[in-house]
Amino acid sequence: MNGGHASAGAAELARLLARVADGDAAAFQHFYDRTSAKLFGIILRILAERQEAEDVLQEVYVTVWRKAASFDPARASPITWVATIARNRAIDRLRARPVRHQAPVEAAHDLADQGPAPDAGLVASQDARRLAEALHLLEPRHADAIRACYFEGITYDELAAREQVPVGTLKSWVRRGLMRMRSHLEGREA
């Protein structure tokens, strides 16, 4: 049932985007009301500064207003399309941040190193490699579901609608996949 509700939600968002493409301000307001909380969460997670996230959110909706006609429901769901715009805008803003003022080199001996230990990058890259290996062992649909839910921030309902399966089935895929990954990772550590 939830899968149908998610599909109906995606269809409604697609209809709103089509109306926005025609310059319908009321449809734009409805689209904003239905999507802004999710997009703000994505942007805030990337930027971590509320004011900057609010600015980027505004830029995202300016883009939606201008490019609604380019939305193709055959390529992505409306929320995936707009979340991708939000994510890319937030990353662009993050990359454009000015380099912060640094203390003179002479002051370095007075500063405690608050960063990770020198081997932390190595450990992190080994962990990432092991995680990728564990994901690779899964059935492709299970691995894709885990990536979508945990790395892309897509909800179970949205993903179930995209995959055209019941939400319960999708949750089972994720649960079984995570259990198999955990077994693999624990087996390697033992």
Q: What is the mean pLDDT of residues 71-83?
A: 91
Please check whether residue 160 is in contact with residue 169, taking contact to mean a CB–CB distance below 8 angstroms: yes
Tokens representing 121 are: 């990058």
Which domains, from first to last, does the chain contain?
1-98 (1.10.1740.10), 117-190 (1.10.10.10)
- Looking at residue 128, its pLDDT comes to 75
- Looking at residue 106, its pLDDT comes to 58
Angstrom distance (rounded) from CA 149 to CA 135: 13
Helices (H), 48-77: 50-67
Higher-confidence position of 114 and 182:
182
Res. 1: pLDDT tops 50: no
Q: Where residue 21 falls among pLDDT bands split at 50, 70, 90?
A: very high
For the four alpha carbons of 98, 41, 150 and 76, in that order, the dihedral sign comes to negative
Higher-confidence position of 2 and 100:
100
Neighbours of 133 (CB within 10 A): 13
Q: What is the mean pLDDT of residues 44-69?
A: 93
